[in-house]
Amino acid sequence: MTDTPLSPRDEDEALAAEYVLGVQDLPDRTATEARIKADPVFADLVHAWESRLADLNGDFDEAPAPDLLPRIEARLFPAPPRPPATPIVRFSLPRWLSGVAVAVLLVLGLLTLVPPPGSGLVAVLATADNRLAYEISSRGDSLIVTRTAGVAAVTGQVHELWIIAPGAAPVSLGLLADQPLVVTYPVPPVGWVMAVSVEPAGGSPTGQPTGPVILTAQVTGGA
Amino acid sequence: MFDDPVADLIARCAAQDRVAFRTLYRDSSAKLMGVLLRILRDRTAAEDALQDVYTRVWLRAGRYDPARGRGMTWLITIARNLAIDRLRARVETLDSEGIDLVPDTAGRAETRLVAQGEARRVVDCLATLEPDRAAAVRGAYLDGLSYLDLAARHAVPLNTMRTWLRRSLLKLKECLDR
C-alpha cells in the first residue's frame, strides 16, 4: 500500500481520534492532553470525536458499584470544626489516636517542613535529616505525591497519606508505594495539614491513622 | 435534546448541591463501574478509580455544557479517560495473557444499538470498514487496548497498525459526517 502522508488537517483529526480512542502510549497521551489545553481548535476536534464515538457507550454493561459515597464525600467535604468541647469527657478513639500520633511524633523528633513557593508545589513532608521525604504538587484537579528521598515502608507495612482539615478527622488520600501517587483532589487550603503514617499493608483497617505518624506538614503557600 | 435527568443533576452539582451529587452517584455509578471494570479488568483498581471519577465530576461539574452532549456521555468520558490514564501508567509490557482475557466484542455493539433504534450511523459506518479494522476501533474504545495491544492481537508491526488505524478513523469520520 502506498502511504501518502496525511494533510496537516487530517493529521490533527487522526490525533484527536487516537486520543479519544485511547490507543496512545503514556508520553503521547500526555503530550496530546497538553495540546488540548493549549489549543481550543484542536480541543473542538477532540470533543467532536467524543460525540461521534459516544454511540458505542451503549455496549458498556452496568456493574454493581459499592457505595463509595462516604469516602468520596469525606474527601470533598471534610467535616466542619467540632463544637467547643463539652464538660463531659467521652473517650474518642480517633482523638486518642491523634494524641498518640502527636506523642510519637514528638518522641521521634521528626520535623515538619513547609512548602517552598513554586509552581504547583503544595507541601514537602520530610524528616529533619531529610532521609525520608515526599513532595506534594498539584496539577489540574490532581495532587501528585512523589517520594524524593528514602525508601518505601518495610514489607508488610505501607506509608499512608492523610489530609486533615482544621478540626476535622484525618481523611486518607491513598497509599504511598514506589510509583508516585496521583489522587484527584483540589489544592488544599492554607492551614490544612498533610501527614504520613505507617500502616499495615493494604492501608489503615479503620479509616483513621492507626500507626505512628512519621511526617506532617502544614499547607502554607498554595499554588 | 429531550429531558436529560443526569445533565440536570450535574448542573445542580455545579451549584454545590450535595443532595444532587448523591442522587447522581446512585443513578450513574453502576454504569461507570461497568466502564472502569471493563477497561481496568481489576475490581480494586476499578473501585479506586470510581472514587476519583466522582471526585472529578464534582470538581468539574461547572465545566459541563449540555449543548455539547448528554450528561451520561460526559460522565463516561471522564471515566474512560481516567481508566485509560491508569492503564497506560501501568508498565507497558506485551502481556499476551492479559490480551487474551479481553472478550472479543465484535458485533455486540451493533446488535444492541440497533435494538435501541439509535446510533445507526456509527454502526453503518463501522460496517464500511474492513471487519478487523472495525474490531480494532471497538477494542480500543471499549476495552482500552493500546496500539501495542492491537499490534500484538493483529500480528502486525506497531507502525503498520498505527497507519491503518489512522486511515480507518478518517474513513469513519467521512462516513459519520456525511
pLDDT confidence band for A93 (50 / 70 / 90): low
CA-nearest of A183, A175, A168, A180 to A204 is A175
Give bridge partners of residue A158 from the DSSP assignment.
A199
Cβ of residue B88 closer than 8 Å to a chain A Cβ: yes
CA distance B145 to chain A (A): 6
Judging contacts by C-beta atoms under 8 Å, the chain A residues touching residue B105 are 59
Interchain CB distance below 8 Å, A6 and B119:
no
Cα separations in angstroms, A181 against A123, A147, A149, A152: 14, 9, 15, 13
* Chain B residues inside the 8 Å CB shell of A80: none
Of all residues in chain B, the one with the smallest CA distance to A28 is B88
Average pLDDT, chain B: 85
pTM of the model: 0.71
Chain A CB contacts of B140 below 8 Å: 21-23
Lowest-confidence region among A44-48, A113-117, B56-60 = A113-117
Tell me the DSSP string of chain A: ---PPPPHHHHHHHHHHHHHHT-S-HHHHHHHHHHHHH-HHHHHHHHHHHHHHGGGGGGSPP------HHHHHHHHSPPPPPPPPPSS----HHHHHHHHHHHHHHHHT-----PPPSSSEEEEEE-TTSSSEEEEEEETTEEEEEEEES-PPPTTEEEEEEEE-TTS--EEEEEE-SSPEEEE-PPPPTT-EEEEEEEETTS-SSSS--S-EEEEEE--S--
What gap in Å lies between CA A198 and CA A120, rounded to an integer? 26
Identify the pLDDT of residue A146: 92
Q: Does the beta-carbon distance from A56 to B109 stay under 8 Å?
A: yes
More confidently predicted of B135 and A108: B135
Residue B100 — φ and ψ, nearest 5°?
-65, -25
Indicate if the pLDDT at residue A18 is higher than 70. Answer: yes
What mean pLDDT do residues A111-118 have?
42
Question: B156 and chain A: CB distance < 8 Å anywhere?
Answer: no
Identify the band that residue A102 occupies on the pLDDT scale cut at 50, 70 and 90. Answer: low
C-alpha torsion sign, points A13, A14, A15, A17: positive
Beta strands across the sheet bearing A193-200: A171-176, A157-164, A193-200, A213-218
Cα dihedral A26/A29/A30/A32 (nearest 10) = 160
- What is the distance between the alpha carbons of residues A161 and A215, in angstroms, rounded to a whole number? 9
Q: Which residue of B has its CA nearest to A54?
A: B73
Average pLDDT over residues A41-58: 94
Q: How confident is the model at residue A197 (pLDDT cuts 50, 70, 90)?
A: very high
Query: pLDDT digit string (tens) for B66-103?
Result: 988 999 999 999 999 999 999 998 865 444 444 444 44
- Give pLDDT tens digits for B13-55: 999 999 999 999 999 999 999 999 999 999 999 999 999 999 9
Measured between CA atoms, how close is A129 to chain B, in angstroms? Answer: 32
CB interface of B with A, residues 43-82, below 8 Å: 46-47, 50-52, 54-56, 58-60, 68-70, 72-73, 76-77, 80-81
Cα–Cα distances (Å) from A72 to B23, B51, B64, in that order, read 14, 6, 20
Q: Model confidence over B113-152: pLDDT tens digits?
A: 444 444 568 888 999 999 999 999 999 999 999 999 999 9
So what's the pLDDT on residue A129?
A: 86
> How far does chain B reach from its first CA to its final CA, in angstroms?
21
State the pLDDT at residue A118: 41
Q: Answer whether B30 sits within 8 Å of A69, measured CB to CB.
A: no
Q: What is the pLDDT of residue A165?
A: 86
pLDDT > 80? residue A86 = no
pLDDT score of A78: 77
Give me the pLDDT at residue A3, please: 63
Contact at CB, B58 and A60, closer than 8 angstroms: no
Q: What is the DSSP letter of B104?
A: P
Rg (CA), chain A: 22
pLDDT tens profile A154-190: 888 999 999 998 888 888 899 998 888 988 888 888 8
pLDDT at A82: 53
Q: Taking CA A16 as the corner, what is the angle to CA B6 and CA B92, rounded to the nearest 5 degrees? A: 95
- Whether residue A26 contacts residue B88, with contact meaning beta carbons closer than 8 Å, is answered with yes
Complex confidence, ipTM: 0.86
Whether A101 has a pLDDT exceeding 70, the answer reads no
Q: How confident is the model at residue A109 (pLDDT cuts 50, 70, 90)?
A: very low
| Predicted pLDDT of residue B120 | 62
Q: Between the CA of residue B177 and those of A159, B117, B153, what are the distances in Å?
A: 52, 19, 29
**What pLDDT score was predicted for residue A199?**
92
- Closest C-alpha to B136, from B160, B117, B116: B160
